[in-house]
């Protein structure tokens, strides 16, 4: 891990490999370590940057703005501070919403977009995440995530591994998410993030009415057919709304397809980068798309 200070806050990130730049953006309660199985495969052909978002992992967890717009601005600031060129931005779950927001706010920073089990493409989302948005959740979450419970979950997973049974990537991701909420700052950041994009009825921040803006942006959509967190139907609808997008459904995967089958994921993503020309979008391009839509 490397760390850089931005706006007075430490931001940690992995940087490895050489070649066209990939930026991997993790989901809520995750961190850059969620990509650890696939990073070595991607780094064979690419420069890979995987940050810990604010409120997650080893990065700072300040009292502040945890909206998609703030996350996108923070990601832009990190790439500018590191003097990195425009990138293929890969977003998982919450990270997919952040990746789309980055492309919307700063189109000159994004050459391609890859959305993996992405948020922001429909209403439905798992009850566990919606529950974090109810009034008083900030007081209940600590009780539900007592050290004893986190230790029991971790101990159960370790015991099952010793018996030769390996938990699914979804179960591992859930256990890792629970473990990440072990301190007050992390739990507060989790609740603030959840409330910025959801209420108890589901996701309330959606990019569906702006997907037409991705017309000139090569887009890959990857989903697990067995995703229990965000249904694969969201990915299929987004693909239909983005005529030039590619859709890859991993039939035996859940919410973490890059961990269910890292070799296939790396192959699909690398092929997508190799076979598409990078977008060069600016304000003039955005204006043409916006006016064309208004005229229609």
Q: What is the reported pLDDT for 182?
A: 72
Q: What is the pLDDT of residues 216-238, one digit of tens each?
A: 999 999 999 999 999 999 999 99
Q: Is 221 helix (H, G, I), strand (E, B) or coil?
A: strand
Catalytic residues: 93, 227, 255
Whether 221 maps to a domain, the answer reads yes
77, burial (CB in 10 Å: exposed 0-12, middle 13-18, buried 19+) = middle
Q: Which of the two residues, 203 and 87, has the higher pLDDT score?
A: 87
> In this model, does residue 171 exceed pLDDT 80?
no
Instruction: Indicate the number of domains in the chain.
Output: 1
Q: Which of the two residues, 165 and 69, has the higher pLDDT score?
A: 69
Task: List the beta bridge partners of residue 247.
Answer: 221
**90-94, 146-150, 268-272: which has the minimum mean pLDDT?**
146-150
Whether 184 maps to a domain, the answer reads no
Whether 196 maps to a domain, the answer reads no
If you average pLDDT over every residue of the chain, what do you get?
A: 89
Q: How many angstroms separate the Cα of 226 from the Cα of each of 147, 168, 258, 261, 265?
A: 30, 12, 13, 13, 16
Q: Is 194 helix (H, G, I), strand (E, B) or coil?
A: helix
Can you give the residue range of the structural domain that contains 276? 2-123+203-295
> In this model, does residue 139 exceed pLDDT 90?
no
Q: What is the mean pLDDT of residues 74-98?
A: 98
The CATH code of the domain that includes 54 is: 3.40.50.1820
List the structure tokens of 222.
């990857």
Q: How do 202-203 and 47-51 pair as beta strands?
A: unpaired
Whether 163 maps to a domain, the answer reads no
Whether 13 maps to a domain, the answer reads yes
Of 42, 35, 47, 107, nearest to 72 (Cα)? 107
Q: What is the reported pLDDT for 99?
A: 98
Q: What is the reported pLDDT for 289?
A: 87
155, burial (CB in 10 Å: exposed 0-12, middle 13-18, buried 19+) = exposed
pTM over 0.85: yes
The dihedrals phi and psi of 277, each to the nearest 5 degrees, come to -85, 140
Whether 60 maps to a domain, the answer reads yes
Q: Which of the two residues, 197 and 268, has the higher pLDDT score?
A: 268
Whether 35 maps to a domain, the answer reads yes
Whether 175 maps to a domain, the answer reads no
Q: What is the reported pLDDT for 32?
A: 97
């Amino acid at each position: 891990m490397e760390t850089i200070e931005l706006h007075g806050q430490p931001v940690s990130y992995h940087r490895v490999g050489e070649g066209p730049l990939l930026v991997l953006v993790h989901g809520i309660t995750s961190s850059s370590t969620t990509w650890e199985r696939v990073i070595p495969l991607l780094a064979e052909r690419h420069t890979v940057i995987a940050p810990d978002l604010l409120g997650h992992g080893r990065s700072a967890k300040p009292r502040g703005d945890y909206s998609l717009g703030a996350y996108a601005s923070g990601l832009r600031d990190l790439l500018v501070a590191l003097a990195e060129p425009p990138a293929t931005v890969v977003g998982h779950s919450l990270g997919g919403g952040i990746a789309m927001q980055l492309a919307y706010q700063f189109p000159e920073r994004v050459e391609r977009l890859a959305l993996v089990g992405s948020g922001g493409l429909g209403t439905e989302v798992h009850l566990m995440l919606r529950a974090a948005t109810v009034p008083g959740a900030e007081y209940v979450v600590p009780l539900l995530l007592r050290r004893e419970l986190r230790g029991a979950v971790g101990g159960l997973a370790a015991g099952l591994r010793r018996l030769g049974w390996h938990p699914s990537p979804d179960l591992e991701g859930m256990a890792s998410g629970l473990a990440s909420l072990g301190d007050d700052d992390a739990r507060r950041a989790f609740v603030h993030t959840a409330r910025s994009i959801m209420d108890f009825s589901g996701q309330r921040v959606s990019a569906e009415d702006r997907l037409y803006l991705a017309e000139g942006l090569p887009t890959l959509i990857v989903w697990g057919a067995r995703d229990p967190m965000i249904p694969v139907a969201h990915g299929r609808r987004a693909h239909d709304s983005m005529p030039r997008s590619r859709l890859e459904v991993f039939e035996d995967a859940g919410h973490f397809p890059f961990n269910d089958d890292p070799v296939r994921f790396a192959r699909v993503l690398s092929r997508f980068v190799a076979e598409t020309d990078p977008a060069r979008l600016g304000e003039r391009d955005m204006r043409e798309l916006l006016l064309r839509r208004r005229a229609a």
